[in-house]
Amino acid sequence: MTFTNRLKSQGGQALLIVVLIMVVALTVGLSIATRSVVNVKNTTNQANSQKALAAAEAGVEQALKNDTAPGAPAIVGTFNTTGTTNATSYSTTVSTQNTTQNFLINGGDLVSKDDAIDVWVTTYSSDPATAFSTSWSGSEFDIFWGNDKNNPCNNAALEVAIIYGTKAAPSLKRVTIDPCSARRAVNHFGTATSTSQATTNIGGQTLQYRATLTSGSGVLPPNVLLIRINPIYMGTAIGVFGTPTLPAQGRIITSQGTANNSTTRKITVYEGYPEVPAEFFPYNLFQP
């Protein structure tokens, strides 16, 4: 091989090395650029998400501030705008908690252990003069709870306090229900009129146990004013059913915030009616 040919061969190798270096540099450069674009996009999405969430929270605050009634027109608001670009807005609606004959109490959230919750059987009134002015003489009141069908002792027991009679002279009746036979041997809880593993879907939740209180058996007294249900041993989701249909238990505030006209976040808040003071119950709850 002559000297000239050697130079041509080395020139081809140098070109190949330069091309490889350019490919590596371009790959690294594209990787860095792509990561930068992704980071900017993620940062923008996070910022828009926070804006949308803040807007949804502002909508909830407006509904609470205005004491918006269920079924009222949607509350809308827009802020932090630059023309129509990067607009942040909210739209908030208020509805009653229950729209069917059977529904989940506490807005579908878990009712905590030993944290009793009221079930309104008459229409709630914030005016003391009209509160409990009427009563409910239902023929049946069903309670659904528990999610472990195969292990009864992994479910809550329930203590049900029924206030009945008149507002001037109310009486209280207590019903205790426990799906766990081992616990019943100790706590002597009953099963109301019936407790069965009758799977029931209420509000999207599958509840395994059911207790039926009926007027015919004498378990459900006439002229009921209020029913309070207290989970014992553990918290649980609770559904109820009444004949005739029970009234609204509170309101549900649903607020959707939108940022940059694209990113949306939704908040749902349950607001139950004020409860009867707990001090009323300790002196009466354990009376026969």
pLDDT, tens digit (0-9, with 9 covering 90-100), for 236-281: 999 999 988 899 888 899 999 998 878 899 999 988 888 877 665 5
- Asked if residue 280 is part of any domain, the answer here is no
pLDDT, tens only, 160-204 = 999 999 888 888 898 999 999 899 999 999 874 444 555 678 878
Query: What would the pLDDT profile of 128-142 be if each residue is shown by its tens digit?
Result: 888 888 999 999 999
CB 136 within 8 A of CB 199: no
For 197-219, the pLDDT digits (tens) are 556 788 788 888 988 899 887 88
DSSP 230-271: EEESS-B-EEEEEESPP---EEEEEEEEEETTTEEEEEEEEE
pTM, two decimals, is 0.75
Residue 9, domain member (yes or no): no
Q: How many domains are contained in the chain?
A: 1
Residue 76 lies in a domain: no
Residue 120's domain comprises 98-247
Residues 99 and 102: their CA atoms lie apart, in Å, by 8
CA distance 256 to 75: 10
Residue 1 lies in a domain: no
Whether 34 is in a domain gets the answer: no
Kindly state whether residue 55 falls inside one of the protein's structural domains: no
| Nearest alpha carbon to residue 54 among 267, 271, 270 | 267
Q: What is the DSSP letter of 222?
A: S
207 in a structural domain: yes
Q: Is residue 63 part of a domain?
A: no
Q: What rounded mean pLDDT belongs to the chain?
A: 82
Say yes or no to pLDDT of 285 above 50: no
